[in-house]
A and B are shown apart, each in its own frame.
Chain A
Amino acid sequence: MTRAGTMSLSTQGDREIVITRDFRAPRALVWDAYTKPEILRRWLGVSPTVTMPVCEIDLRVGGRYAYQWARPKNVMWLRGTYLEVVPQQLIVCTEEFEPRWYEGDGVGRFELTETGSGSALRTTVRTTVRYDSDVVRAGVLKTPMEQGLAAGFNALEDLMAGEGTG
C-alpha cells in the first residue's frame, strides 16, 4: 500500500474547511483522477458497499457535473456548476448535495501543484470548501443573531469540550 502523506484538515474562518494532501504521482495523472469520470468513480466516496453509478463531468466554465453514490439503504447526489477551470491546476465549482446536509450552497476549490522530480515527484492537492452557513464552526449550529448570543455560543462549545473529560 502506498501512502504518500498525511492529510491535513483545518478550518479557515467559520465558513471554510481546508484539506491538503500530497500524492506520489505526476500532476497530469492526479488531474485525470479528478476530472475523468472513469477514474474519479473508482476512488471518490466509494467502498465495498458504496458505488458511484452516476459520474458525469462537463469540465468547462458553466458546465455541470453530477455524481450519485448508491449506498445499501439510500442514494446521495452531488451536483454543481464549474465556475473556474485552469487545466492541470485549478477547479472551482459549486456543490449541492441531495439530500442536503447543510444550509445554502458550497463552493469547492481544488488546486494542484507539482513539486520535486523522479522518485521525489509529488502532487499536492489543496481543497478548500466554502459554506454559506457557519456549518464549519459548529457542525450545523448557526448563531443568526447579534453579539449577545455569541457568548452563549462560545459557552456551548466550552460545554462540549468539557464533556470530553467526563
Chain B
Amino acid sequence: MQQHSYGRQTPAQLDATFAALADPTRRALLARLAAGEASVSELARPFRMSQPAISRHLKVLERAGLVSHSRDAQRRPRRLEPKPLALATEWLETYRAYWEASYARLDDLLAALQPAPRRRRPRATGAKRPRSSP
C-alpha cells in the first residue's frame, strides 16, 4: 500500500470534509470532477436537479476545500482538490492502527491472565567458568 504524507488537517477541516461527503449528490459530483474539471452547467447535466441546487452543493464542497474554481471569467470550471479527500480516505490506515493498538493491549492482557510459562532455571553466571588468561 502506498504511503501518503500530507499536512495534517484540523479536526474541523476533517469534519467539514466528511459532512461535505455525506451527501450522495456531492459524492457523485466529486466522482465526475475526478475525471476532469467541468463547468456548473456541465456538472448539472446528469442530475435531475436545477443548476442553482447543484451550485449549492458545489459551494459546500468548496467550503470544505474539496473543489476549487479557476478565475476564468468565461466558464469558471470547477476542479477537484484531492488532498482533503486523500486525508478522509486515510481512515483505513487509522482503522488499522486502532486495531493494532487494541490487539497489542489484548496480547498483554492474555499474557497476564495465563500462568507464566515455565522456564529452565538460568545457570548461575560466571561461577565455574575459568577466566581466560591474557
Residues of A within 8 A of B (CB): 1-4, 7, 9, 11, 17, 19, 21, 23-25, 29-30, 33, 39, 42-47, 101, 103, 119, 127, 136, 138-145, 148-149, 151-153, 155-156, 159-161, 163-164
Contacts and interface: CB of A to CB of B under 8 A. Distances in A.
B111 A160 contact: no
Contacts of A141: 21, 27, 30-31, 85, 89
Contact of B108 (A1, A142, A159): A1
A136 B108 contact: no
Interface of B: 2-6, 18, 21-22, 24, 27-28, 30-35, 46, 80, 82-83, 85-86, 88-92, 95-96, 98-111, 113-114, 117
B100 A7 contact: yes
Nearest to B85: A160
- Dominant SS among interface residues on chain B: helix
B89 A29 contact: no
B95 A17 contact: yes
Contact of B88 (A30, A44, A140): A140
The 4 A-B residue pairs with the shortest CB-CB distance, nearest first, are A139-B89, A156-B34, A152-B35, A43-B105
A3 to B, nearest CB: 6
Given A3-B107, A151-B35, A160 B4 contact: yes
Contact of A3 (B18, B32, B104): B104
B27 A143 contact: yes
Contacts of A148: 46
Contacts of B95: 9, 17
Contacts of B104: 1, 3
Nearest to A123: B110
Nearest to B91: A139
B28 A24 contact: no
Contact of A144 (B24, B80, B91): B24
B22 A140 contact: yes
B28 A145 contact: yes
Nearest to B118: A119
A27 B104 CA distance: 17
B84 to A, nearest CB: 11
